[in-house]
Amino acid sequence: MKKKLLSVLLAGVMVISLAACGGGGGDSSGGDSNSNSSGSDTSAESDEGGSTEGGHKLTVWTWDPAFNIPAIKEAAEVYKAEVDSEFELEVIETLSDDCETKLQTCAESGDFGTMADIILMQDNSFQKFVSFYPEAFTDLTDSGIDFSEFAEGKLAYSIVDGKNYGVPFDNGAAISCYRTDILDEAGYTIDDLTDIDWDKFIEIGKAVKEKTGKYMLSGQANSQDIIMMMLQSAGASLFNEDGTPNLVGNDALNECIDLYQKMVKEGIFYEVNEWDEYVSSITNEQCAGTINGNWIMATVMGMEDTSGNWAITNLPKLVKTEGATNYSNNGGSSWYISSNCQNTDLAFDFMAKTFAGSVTLYENILPTTGAISTWGPAGDSEAYQAPQEFWSDQPIFATVVEFAEKTPSNNTSAYYYDVREVISTAIQDIMSGAGEKDAILEQAQADAEFYYQ
């Protein structure tokens, strides 16, 4: 089973990495869907609105013919086979940016009549839109969906003022991927990098660099994924509880920046400028590993000749910050029911019995899309527990679900991406010696607060 699952997965997941990550426009894939699980109509041109009350049809806005679209279409097939034989789902292919633009246009006109019943949104983007346009979304708190079965850290992205608004889709749990053959050359195993802190990681990284000439990690200097993951691993963030920026006097942020500086200075972290350079640093074997959302496995698995020489484990944890763990998140999206949905009972039941209730669904979409669940029961299934030859026979899918369940939630903001860009620029200034760290962070705080005026 494991070889069959892996071979299909390799074909299906190579295009998912940018779609699964939390940044960007969500248009990482183009062209027509090749999914054979369709039984539902799809249209990239349709502008039809929501369902008819009491009917059997729902509409959805989503993107990526290789990832999100086949997943929701398979959910429709499962629901049709197991619950309602008359059920129909119309998938309106809509890029992530376009979902947000259409939603904003509807909200500002006060007319939600053209919105689909269900909308997929990037997790961090949703916070901005629900803050500005709460009337566009349906409260799911009393929908009958059992939200307790989802990983807390993932679920937190769709909770506002104590109310549930979204049903989690893909798993953005962070992982550390390492080349076991490179570690072995330096005298280490994957166990030596499991449940450690960043001080120990730097010690091992220096030894690996000395003995193999390889960096331990790489990342974009202008897009600080690594800092964001470090922060969330301790339940910390760039924001206060009320969503305002927290850059000055943020002890966790200061520790993350200090550790980042040390890794670069010690020559174990390779800074690049562009995404393509980051990918190349992995595929050209400049680095012994990478730390990112688990969607990065699609990139790693493109190196077919290295099969069996990779393993995953958890992240190093912060040394000084209270609440430090070895678990974090980077990226992901969730399903939302719009206020235009006239048949909320059907939409609630569809979500409750598919993405919030069907092991079969998650087993079916795993090999075709690579989408890993944050819904706990899926992690116990046969498909998730199967060892994967590429990853040193680790049951990586079940492991990722476990990591998600242990990831702390943290504060976020409607201006998440804006403030993230501000701190990324500030860290570049710190690294280049453009000024004292405290002064640069004070300016960054002022720049971030500009968005709140």
Query: Between residues 195 and 122, which one has the greater pLDDT?
Result: 195
Residues 6 or more apart whose Cβ sits within 8 Å of residue 23: 122, 223, 331, 417
Cα 219 to Cα 291: distance, rounded to the nearest angstrom: 9
Tell whether the model's pLDDT for residue 82 goes beyond 80.
Answer: yes
Going from the C-alpha of 97 to that of each of 49, 225, 348, 360, the distances in angstroms are: 18, 21, 25, 31
Cα 32 to Cα 24: distance, rounded to the nearest angstrom: 21
180-239 pLDDT per residue, tens: 999 999 999 999 999 999 999 999 999 999 999 999 999 999 889 999 999 999 999 999
CB-CB contact of 297 with 129 (8 Å): no
Q: To 5 degrees, how large is the angle CA 416–CA 160–CA 94? A: 65
- The 10 Å Cβ neighbour count of residue 265 is 11
Tell me phi and psi for residue 57, to 5 degrees.
-120, 140
Three-state DSSP at 142 gives coil
Q: To which residue do tokens 């206020």 refer?
A: 339
The chain-wide mean pLDDT, for the chain, equals 88
H helices within 176-250, ranges in order? Answer: 180-185, 198-212, 225-233
The whole model's pTM is what? 0.81
Residue 146 pLDDT: 97
In 3D, which of 358, 352, 388 has the Cα closest to residue 370? 388
At 74, is the pLDDT very low, low, confident or very high (cuts 50, 70, 90)? Answer: very high
Please state which of the ranges 78-87, 149-158, 438-447 shows the lowest mean pLDDT.
Answer: 149-158
Please state which of the ranges 15-19, 302-306, 318-322 shows the lowest mean pLDDT.
Answer: 15-19
Cα 53 to Cα 55: distance, rounded to the nearest angstrom: 6
Q: Tally the C-alpha atoms within 13 A of residue 430's C-alpha that lie toward its C-beta.
A: 26
Residue 453 pLDDT: 82
Cα 272 to Cα 290: distance, rounded to the nearest angstrom: 13
